[in-house]
Structure 1
């Protein structure tokens, strides 16, 4: 979403600049047009090369298109963490691509499988579950499946927006600086992206409430998840399902990443079973956790925190 908004804004600015230059100096404009054309051709060729590489990944090998690795957790996108966790749970072979994190629906993550592109994390999970016979909820009763579905929708389609209001409303995107590298070209556009995101939360509805009210809505989501989990190892019982991947994806940043948030405090103090669930999933399905991090970025942030330039 960040990249797309930036790209759209850049394209509009470039168009206005081109019209201005054309009116003042046509030879320069022609040169710019030629350069832009060459760059577009180069971009097309590179994209075709990437496409060939994805298609040659191997039969039934998932190419997982996600943003770059995070500093303290594998990805800043909760849905990328959700999907990659599910793929690991299902033991489906996969490779990671960071060059094109946004797919045909303009969302991240997305996958290429045997030459076919699929978008939306939940639709991807359902497709992979059917293809590879990894439907982890197959043993559940119809009533339990209904509960699992309701919990997953609450996490993906409601709690997500509560977290977003906190991170981009109250915190103004502060967590991004701690947890991922943003190319310098995108940084001037961050205020625009944040404002657009907050407008989206108003369309969804959660963003129309005060911060205190949104915090309470988020707390009720955590309370519901915690009450249902109880003392079970996983959300639906003794074995994990895609609900666990969804919960893990949304809570990863607040459990493992700086800065400390209100939700971090809630998890550590009031909903310790959810906190423990995240650690359990990490230990079981992410034995290579540190290898999936941008360790240089993490070390840089840790040094800044030690020097007091940023605080958790």
Structure 2
């Protein structure tokens, strides 16, 4: 009797185990099927977009970037830099906002005659060769070296002060003040995004310092740019050059997209010549600036 009861219980447990395995298999198959359908749809949409981009006229640049911001045409300095360059040089282009992240997982990127090119600086250098554009040709080698030094300082040092303020010190919360139509999922993913960007900043080196130290370093960069600019119209004189696009891209974020930051206060105070410089770049290359915001100011 006892053995029969044990056998019965064992059979019941095996039956439950088999049913559970069966249900898990069905569930797993369903999830895999949904994922496969999703990937097929994504691939289809991607192919359709590329077919559309290939249909534009020859030598038309397709500029892929984030959607427009509330106070600047882009809340990232690099798309703003590249679009300013396109306007400065008169190279024909169209904007595309559906696929902002490029082959290297960065924004912006461009499509030109079917080729995909990533990284704002590499895009500018390729376009300069393709369309024979050189906005710095009037400068001496020494002046070009100085311009490059300010360009690199802005993008490879001051930029990290911007990134740390926006994503680490304020935990990304100010993003909602400067950008409309952010996906709801971003608020759920924000801790992961902050952690990832903090890790990048630590890998670069700036993220290893205290907030006070980073702010001090960034202020020194701003003071250097302000002192060098002085009363000049643009970085190297009366004519804007490629380096102005990079410097403007960073400064515009600090001025208009870092609400409540010490950068915003300094650009409206001690370094007000940098604010005037940003306004000048905006007026010169972005006469339609207000229409390039979201919502547009018409």
Tell me if the contact between 1:178 and 1:258 (Cα under 8 Å) persists in the aligned partners.
Answer: no
Alignment of 1:161-180 (within 5 A): 161-180=160-179
Q: In the alignment, does 2:263 pair up with 1:263?
A: yes
Aligned CA-pair RMSD: 1.7
- Per the alignment, residue 95 of structure 1 pairs with 94
Shift of 1:189: 0.9
Partner of 1:36: 35
Distance 2:238 2:229 in 1: 11
The TM-score with structure 2 as length reference comes to 0.89
- Name the CA shift for 1:270/1:22 in 2 (closer, same or farther; >3 Å): farther
Structure 2 residue aligned with 1:226: 226
| Deviation of the 1:45 alpha carbon | 1.2
> Is this contact kept in 2: 1:254–1:260, CA < 8 A?
no
Give the whole-Å Cα distance in 1 for the aligned partners of 2:112 and 2:247: 25
- 1:258 CA displacement: 5.7
Counterpart-to-counterpart distance in 2, 1:207 and 1:142: 34
Q: Which position in structure 2 is the counterpart of 1:295?
A: 295
- Structure 1 residue 166: deviation in Å? 1.7
Query: Aligned equivalents of 2:216 and 2:259: distance in 1?
Result: 20
Instruction: Summarize the alignment of residues 140-151 of structure 1 with structure 2, pairs less than 5 Å apart.
Output: 140-151=139-150
C-alpha distance in structure 1 between counterparts of 2:39 and 2:271, whole Å:
51
What is the CA distance between 1:172 and its match in structure 2?
A: 1.3
The answer as to whether partners of 2:158 and 2:221 remain within 8 angstroms in 1 is: yes
Q: Partner of 1:124 in structure 2? A: 123
User: How far has the Cα of 1:124 moved from its partner?
Assistant: 0.8
Contact preservation (8 Å) 1:155, 1:250: yes
Question: How far is 1:271 from its partner?
Answer: 1.0
Q: Taking structure 1 as the reference length, what is the TM-score of the superposition?
A: 0.85
Unaligned runs of 5+ in 2: 1-19
Q: Which runs of 4+ in 1 moved over 6 A?
A: none
Give the aligned partner of residue 182 of structure 2: 182
Shift of 1:186: 2.4
Cα displacement (A) at 1:89: 0.7
